[in-house]
Amino acid sequence: KGTIIANMECSMIVETEIEKAGGKVERVRVGDVFVAEKIKETGALFAMETSAHYFTPEFYVFDDPIVVGLKLGEILSKTDQRLSSMADDIPSYPKTMKNFKCPDEIKFQVMEKIIEGFKEKGCKLDMTDGAKVIFDDGWALMRPSNTTPLIRASVEAFTEERLTQLLSMVEDEFNTALEGTK
């Protein structure tokens, strides 16, 4: 029980499982610096990023795979369950990522148009990191890359069919925004 930090791209199953265990999830921008700041701000027990960075602030506030591995070993030593069966107990949802080429000179203007488009459609938005459109059965996150001429999209849904619909929506929104920026 306590606060767990997860970046915006982490699966929606994180909330489901952590809340089921009596904890609370706080979302943060992608990037270990933002994760570390949020850990200090909230006193979180654990933090994670989709890039397989895991933080155990009990020891220090940065990611360390050796410490996380040792902590996992400690947890496993207190149960008869195998790690594989624990993992099998956690449901997963279909998820995909797509990169859209977008020149650096205009990618932030394109993102503004994408946000405008989502707002005009009345979508529920989380602007913590880019634009995350949230639905009852999935989400789509669009964020400009800070290092390459891309806008990255991450999409997750309860079903493959809905995943395809959300990805199509994201593609349409990007193409409309790009066309409106040129």
Residue 43 has pLDDT above 80, yes or no: yes
Mean pLDDT of 91-113: 96
Domains and CATH numbers, the chain: 3-88 (3.40.120.10), 95-181 (3.30.310.50)
Residue 95 has pLDDT above 90, yes or no: yes
Count of helix runs (H) and strand runs (E) in the chain? 6, 9
- Confidence at residue 96, expressed as pLDDT on a 0 to 100 scale: 98
Indicate the SS3 state at residue 39: helix
How far apart, in whole angstroms, are the C-alpha atoms of residue 91 and residue 143? 26
Give residue 61's Cα distance to chain centre: 20
Mean pLDDT of 79-84: 92
Sort 101 into a burial class: Cβ within 10 Å, 0-12 / 13-18 / 19+: exposed
When pLDDT is cut at 50, 70 and 90, the band that residue 32 belongs to is confident
- Confidence at residue 57, expressed as pLDDT on a 0 to 100 scale: 83
- Confidence at residue 66, expressed as pLDDT on a 0 to 100 scale: 84
When pLDDT is cut at 50, 70 and 90, the band that residue 38 belongs to is very high
Between the CA of residue 137 and those of 93, 100, 122, what are the distances in Å? 10, 24, 16
Residue 64 has pLDDT above 90, yes or no: no
Average per-residue pLDDT for the chain = 93
Residue 54 has pLDDT above 90, yes or no: no
